[in-house]
């Protein structure tokens, strides 16, 4: 089965992956980081500042109240899935585009004709076991790439779940700045990984491709 494109998957899924940078990074004097710790503290957050047309389109056209999401730490030493979230308010214009003091200001966007949209997401829970991108890459490479010991470590995952992790847009070339659609079977597999663990001792995949993706 060929991997589904992000655009095709977005029309059929109710599961998403939201990327956020946990480490401090300043733009126009404002720290734009947002970690799982901050998310848990505030409870609900407006997902503003998305300036990728496809990603903003997903929010405007495809995300609905009650849709589930993986909360993903990006652009950090160890990227990966840190927790779970849920969409609690459907798309509305991103007001940061109208604010000249905002890092996300866009002079081409107006209240009358907004270019960018956002949704509100609420914190659901922190995963007991952080799921690193490097582990997802190893699993996503397929059963033939796992050692006997590794397969035993994640014996709670079915072969179908492992196959569907490999279909995730997250593991494919190209990237969206904030969020991607997720196959429901892959979503549940990662939730199970977050509950059961067993992979903390795995070493990251070697090679240029894996090394590049580990910064996603």
Residue 216, domain member (yes or no): no
Residue 213, domain member (yes or no): no
Mapping DSSP to helix (H, G, I), strand (E, B) and coil, where does residue 74 land?
Answer: coil
Give the pLDDT confidence of 100-128 residue by residue, as tens digits: 999 999 999 999 999 999 999 999 999 99
Residue 96, domain member (yes or no): yes
The answer for residues whose C-beta is within 8 angstroms of residue 51's C-beta and 6 or more apart is 104, 106, 116, 177
Residue 102, domain member (yes or no): yes
Residue 209, domain member (yes or no): no
pLDDT at position 110 is 93
User: Any idea what the CATH number is for the domain that residue 114 is in?
Assistant: 3.10.590.10
Residue 3, domain member (yes or no): no
Domain count, the chain: 1
For residues 131 and 193, is the Cβ–Cβ distance under 8 A? Answer: yes
Give the pLDDT confidence of 129-147 residue by residue, as tens digits: 999 999 999 999 999 999 9
Asked if residue 178 has pLDDT above 90, the reply is no
| Range(s) of the domain holding residue 150 | 10-204
Report the Cα–Cα distance between both ends of the chain, in Å, rounded.
Answer: 25
pLDDT at position 83 is 98
Residue 1, domain member (yes or no): no
Residue 4, domain member (yes or no): no
């Amino acid at each position: 089965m060929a991997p589904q494109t992000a655009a095709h998957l977005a029309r059929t899924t109710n599961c998403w992956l939201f990327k956020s940078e946990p480490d401090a990074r300043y733009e126009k004097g404002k720290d734009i980081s947002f970690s799982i710790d901050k998310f848990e503290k505030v409870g609900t957050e407006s997902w503003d500042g998305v300036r990728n047309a496809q990603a903003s389109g997903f929010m405007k056209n495809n995300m609905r109240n009650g849709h589930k999401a993986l909360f993903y730490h990006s652009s950090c030493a160890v990227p990966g899935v840190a927790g779970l979230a849920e969409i609690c308010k459907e798309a509305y214009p991103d007001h940061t585009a109208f604010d000249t003091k905002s890092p996300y200001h866009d002079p081409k966007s107006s209240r009358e004709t907004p270019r960018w949209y956002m949704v509100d997401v609420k914190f659901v829970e922190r995963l007991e076991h952080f799921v690193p991108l490097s582990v997802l890459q190893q699993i996503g490479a397929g059963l033939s790439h796992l050692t006997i010991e590794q397969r035993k470590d994640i014996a709670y995952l079915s072969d179908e779940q492992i196959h569907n992790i490999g279909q995730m847009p997250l593991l494919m070339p190209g990237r969206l700045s904030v969020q991607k659609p997720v196959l429901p079977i892959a979503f549940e597999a990662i939730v199970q990984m977050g509950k059961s663990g067993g992979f903390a001792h795995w070493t990251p995949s070697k090679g240029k491709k894996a090394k590049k993706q580990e910064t996603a």
